[in-house]
Structure 1
Amino acid sequence: MLVAVMGAMSVQPARAADADALYRLLHPKSCLGCDLSRAELPDGIDLSGYDLSKTRFDGARLRGANLQGADFGGADLTGADASGANLRAAKLGTAKLAGIDFSRAQLDADFSGIDLTRARFKGSELNGNRFNRAQLGDADFSESKLVGVDFGKAVAQRADFSASRIENTHFVGAVLSGASFRDLQVQSYNVGKPIDFSGADLNGADFNGANCRGKSFRICARTDAATTCPAGNKGPCLDFGSALVARNREALISSSQCKGCDLRGATLDNKGGARIVLDGADLRSASLYRFNAPDGSFVDAKLQGADVVGDYTRAKLQGADLRADRLMGTFVEAQMQGADLSGADIQMSDYRRANLVKAKLNNTLVYGTDLRGADLTGADVQGLRYGNTAKTDATTTCPNGKPGPCAW
């Protein structure tokens, strides 16, 4: 192994570690105070249980290394590449870790109070780790799985949590201004244990696409009067999108119009009104509970994953993406030609005389839905759920163009 290590280092343009340091690294499982800065150690090298106290690994390559139980007390790992390494039970408490790459690494360390500025945890699985008061500016946690992780009072401006999956993870009092939570997924949600942002600074944070098991992120996030919301206002926060989403929400409330607006994840509960116009708006994962928009216009709007419950009598929904979590309430005489309701829950709702010509109703839940007088000519009803309980009669035009009652 010694020969392999020396060979790997000999091609380095940077200063190679001396032979004595290499020997001490491998005999006898200790390298106290060694200088291995910028060294390229063989991928997967086994240094488990080693005493590496005060060793210099700044800029070194430790990819896939077995560092389980190793002691890095006072070591310098600044900018080191430890991607894919096994660091379970490793002692990292007093090590210098700014800029280190822990991507896809196995970690169970307590990082409380440590400087991890620009550190990379991309694709890692963190379970029960503590980052209390850690310095995490520009750190990368994207595409990671975070279970029971505590970021209390961490300073994490511009940190990247995009496309991560989280459970029982908390950010109480953390500084998260400018952080990205785009497409964040809360995989399991306990009503008694929400994702806690109490007292956190979320000014400018981006939550576009963040969701709680496919629903609005807000339902599984706790904020309070001490929280600074993404738009810069004090909480409790209603919107978890971006500052732009918050501004669009206010514009809609004041003018009843916001064509083509980005309202992803916005909470619009009880903020509807007759003749409201949201043509082409992006309302994915938004909450429109009791929104009530009779005669409103949502032509070509995107409502995938939204919670839509209210009065939409005569609303214009042609070509809209209505693959909502719920699409329930009153849709009497709604214009829904070519709309996509695939997989939506429209059960026990009133769709009398609705125009559903060429609409997509694949796997749509229609238990007890009133479709009397509705026009379903050319509609795709493959996999329609509980179609036999939907109310149709001779005034209904079935998908085959013939009068009902419809036989799905």
Structure 2
Amino acid sequence: MMTGATQAQNMMGLDVTSDAFTKSMMTRSELEAAIAKLPAGEVLDLTGKSLNGLDLSGMDLRRTKLQAARINDANLSNTNLEGVVLDQAWALKSNFTGANLKNSSLFATQFGGGKLDGADFTGAHVAADFTNASATKAKFDGADLSADEKNQSMGLMRGAFKGAKLDGASFKGANMQRVFMEFASLRGADLSGANLRKGEFAAADLTDANVAGANFDGADLNSARIGKMKGEDQALNLDKAKNRERAVVN
């Protein structure tokens, strides 16, 4: 039973317990065969396909398109998804441990309750939902997690990490403007050089996080733990953060 990160889904009136979200239309062997038969330069279009529950661990999926695909409760640990389009894909409670998602497109992708420890999102477009997911030691260096304020037909799409475990994760130089990090654990995370403008960090834990060069202009720190941040003296506009006086500093 999928729980925890279904608020957005339920708002869309979708039944995440239906066959489309719980069963698979093909096996791993069939997927491997389809990729192997691809003509040079072509991509296997899996848009909207149901691949729920499959063990795809270690596969090279760079020649696939997974837009709006359903890959819930699937094992994608150590898969190569570099540059793959996963916009609007459903990956609730799936395992992406150690996966390569560099430069991938993750617009409105649902990772709620998933396991993404050590995954690499370097340079990716990450307007995705990671509610209650675990992404410890994951890499988001240079990634774009910011809100798309020009296109709000689906609401304010941005990196959403409510309650996520991001201890030791790296966000060096990432664009995190208006990112949603309420109740997230960022203990020991590297936020150096990140753009945190107007980010929502209420009740987030930034203990031992490296914030050197991070821009806090307008970031909401209400009840956030900021007392033991590293590089605080090199942070930008920390004095302009919202609700800094309500942050926890001990």
Residue 220 of structure 1 pairs with residue 234 of structure 2: no
Q: 1:172 to 1:73 in 2, by over 3 A?
A: closer
Aligned length: 210
Aligned residue in 2 for 1:57: 66
Q: CA RMSD in A?
A: 2.6
User: Which whole-Å CA distance do the structure 2 matches of 1:30 and 1:179 have between them?
Assistant: 44
SS of residue paired to 2:121: coil
Please say if residues 104 and 125 of structure 2, whose CA atoms lie closer than 8 Å, have aligned partners that are also in contact: no
What is the percentage of aligned positions where both structures have the same residue?
27
User: Which whole-Å CA distance do the structure 2 matches of 1:225 and 1:168 have between them?
Assistant: 17
Amino acid at match of 2:74: A
Larger Rg: 1
Aligned residue in 1 for 2:217: 203
Aligned residue in 1 for 2:238: 229
Q: 1:113 to 1:51 in 2, by over 3 A?
A: closer
Segments of 5+ residues of structure 2 without an aligned counterpart are: 1-17, 36-42, 147-157
Cα offsets for 1:1-46 (capped at 9, x unmatched): xxxxxx956xxxxxxxxxxxx66864263543221112233x3222
Of 27, 40, 48, which residue of structure 2 is paired with 1:38? 48
| 1:47 to partner: Cα distance | 2.3
Q: If the length of structure 2 is used for normalisation, what is the TM-score?
A: 0.74
Aligned residue in 2 for 1:161: 181
SS of residue paired to 2:186: strand
Of 118, 126, 136, which residue of structure 1 is paired with 2:135? 126
Q: If the length of structure 1 is used for normalisation, what is the TM-score?
A: 0.47
User: Which whole-Å CA distance do the structure 1 matches of 2:162 and 2:205 have between them?
Assistant: 11
Q: 1:28 to 1:158 in 2, by over 3 A?
A: closer
Segments of 5+ residues of structure 1 without an aligned counterpart are: 1-6, 10-21, 212-216, 232-239, 247-262, 266-284, 287-306, 308-408
User: Which whole-Å CA distance do the structure 1 matches of 2:218 and 2:119 have between them?
Assistant: 30
5 Å-filtered alignment, 1:76-225, equals 76-107=85-116, 108-116=118-126, 118-137=127-146, 138-186=158-206, 194-211=208-225, 217-224=226-233
Q: 1:166 to 1:23 in 2, by over 3 A?
A: closer
User: Which whole-Å CA distance do the structure 2 matches of 1:230 and 1:39 have between them?
Assistant: 48
Please say if residues 184 and 209 of structure 1, whose CA atoms lie closer than 8 Å, have aligned partners that are also in contact: yes
After TM superposition, which residue ranges in structure 1, 4 or more long, deviate above 6 angstroms?
none
Amino acid at match of 2:202: R
Select the structure with the greater relative contact order (CA < 8 A; seq sep ≥ 6).
2
| 1:106 to partner: Cα distance | 1.5
User: Which whole-Å CA distance do the structure 2 matches of 1:30 and 1:87 have between them?
Assistant: 22
SS of residue paired to 2:227: helix
Amino acid at match of 2:216: L
User: Which whole-Å CA distance do the structure 2 matches of 1:34 and 1:120 have between them?
Assistant: 25
Q: 1:100 to 1:51 in 2, by over 3 A?
A: same
Q: 1:27 to 1:38 in 2, by over 3 A?
A: closer
Residue 67 of structure 1 pairs with residue 76 of structure 2: yes
Amino acid at match of 2:159: A
